A and B are shown apart, each in its own frame.
Chain A
Amino acid sequence: MQVQDYAELSTTRANPHIDPALHIWGWEVPVYLFLGGLVAGLLVLNAYTVLTRRERELPAAARVFPVLGVPLLAVGLGALFLDLEYKLHVFRFYTTFQLSSPMSWGSWILLVVFATGGLAGLSAYVKSGWPLATFVRGLPFVGALERLADRHARGLAAANALLGVALGIYTGILLSGFAARPLWNTGLLGPLFLVSGLSTGAALGALLTRDSGERHTLLRLDLWLMLGEVVLLGLWLLGLLTGGEAARASSGLVLGGPYAAAFWTLVVAVGLAVPILLEVMALRGRWRQTLVAPALVLVGGLSLRFVLVYAGQHLGY
């Protein structure tokens, strides 16, 4: 479908997944973008805890977040792998670096995140007392890697903070780098996906922690992150509405068109408005703090990626 002043365009082209509207990326890509953002959030919050020496105050952020990071990222990459049409050639991402391709940047960022996030995760895991932790500690090289991680704990945290931010931004830039798809074509998707990733990371932490003080801290942080996300979503829509013809037409996809119902209910109401309201009421002591808000934040974060990935393919220019 194209935005042009055609009375009627007919074409003999009927390529699968291209016509009548582009639909080359299915559920795999939004699931990967969601998990990538979530892991970015977990890594950044863990690094913040280590760098500000608040491990006691934020026990899950210090010890659980890094252990979850790499496995969740691996699940996300598994989804991305399923999306590849030529799976045997997956190694081709790592036989080159293409400066102008966001996806090439992302492939290499992911590799480094696996190394630094994995090192922090391994060190936290072998100390956790969880199943198999003692066994893993006994494996060759694990002791040496743990000592390496512990000796450079702050340096590793700084690296994970930077790489987490890079990963979070990259999940947005992956979409925004296409001038051909006006709904995505703004750098604002970088910070939007980063803030949303941090928000889902904090929400998952609030769901997992057994420490009520930490839960409170994470939920309060999440409230600020959600408010930031509202601002960025608003700026994104404003940019589309004040843009050229193609941008304005594509804003209609989420404001009143085929993806409007999902956008307004799942992303705006369920993912932002309701959890913000619940958290504000909890902060003012008018409502008990429950785990409803962070659960909704996770639903909202996943929905945001689904709506954007699906809607963005719908209109060219």
Chain B
Amino acid sequence: MAPRVERRFGMTVDQVRCVGCSACVLACADENGVPEGHTRRWVSEVVRGRFPELTAEVWSDCCQHCDNPPCVSSCPTGASHVEPRTGTTQVHKERCTGCKACVASCPYDARYVHPDGYIDKCTLCLHRLERGERTACEAICPTSAILVGDLDDPSSEISRAVRSRHAKQQKLDGGTRPRFFLLQ
């Protein structure tokens, strides 16, 4: 079961607004010192149909900060954990052995092996949230497609967006209960 948390931070990406410019990807890498050739954030594009009847869908993606994160339950050392004040999924790198059980457990393939040996992923800019700032990806987004906030607070902007828009979650079959929503 999901551990008790004070707040449940989540993210929405508005697919009507997102143009796939990758500014968020670069801002994330810069803010968090993501090593060259690695990425905590990425842009996906799906093209469906047969030419010329095509539809395209684009969105910025990252760790889904699940309510029931398999990376936390599969971690043998407690390095992967749910941060109790924000409910975000984090890694204590001093406890990580680099066994990669969490990487295998993540249906979103949101984790990678940092060249220093520990497992790294999106922190939802925890250091910025703690200072009351917006995440680097949300702050840079030129179309304001990214929204981060407390899903437990019914009056927060993100809660209202998830309630009022068609909000799609990815890969629900694994029981991860992701807190990342695509607004359509």
Contacts and interface: CB of A to CB of B under 8 A. Distances in A.
Given A16-B37, A85-B117, A179 B109 contact: no
A95 interface: yes
The size bracket of the interface on B is 35 or more
A107 B25 contact: no
Interface stretch (A86-94, A136-144, A192-200): A86-94
Contact of B95 (A7, A9, A89): A89
Interface stretch (A19-27, A123-131, A264-272): A19-27
Q: Which secondary structure dominates where chain A touches chain B?
A: loop
Interface stretch (B99-107, B138-146, B150-158, B159-167): B99-107
Q: From DSSP, what is the main secondary structure of chain B's interface residues?
A: loop
Interface string B89-104: 0000011111111011
Nearest to A99: B73
Nearest to A184: B104
A52 interface: no
Interface string A162-178: 00000000000000011
B147 interface: no
B67 to A, nearest CB: 15
B65 to A, nearest CB: 16
Interface in A274-317: 313, 316-317
Contact of B78 (A13, A15, A86, A98): A98
Contacts of B47: 7-8, 10
Interface residues of A, number: 46
Interface in B105-121: 105-107, 109, 111-113, 116-119
Contacts of A14: 37, 39
Contacts of B99: 83-85, 103
Contact of A103 (B22, B76, B112): B76
A176 to B, nearest CB: 11
B173 interface: yes
A174 B92 CA distance: 22
A180 B106 contact: yes
Given A15-B112, A24-B104, A178-B70, A104 B46 contact: no
A244 interface: yes
A212 interface: no
Contact of A101 (B39, B49, B61, B73): B73
A24 B75 CA distance: 15
Contacts of B73: 100-101
B77 A180 contact: no
Interface string B14-55: 000000001001000000000001110011111111100010
A242 interface: no
B77 A96 contact: yes
B43 A11 contact: yes
Contacts of B54: 7
Contacts of A89: 77, 94-98, 117
Contacts of B86: none
A85 B98 contact: yes
A316 B101 CA distance: 14
Contact of A98 (B22, B76, B104): B76
Nearest to A29: B100
Contact of B39 (A12, A92, A102, A181): A12
* 7 A-B pairs with the lowest CB-CB distances in the bound complex, closest first: A85-B98, A13-B42, A86-B117, A103-B76, A15-B112, A104-B76, A86-B98
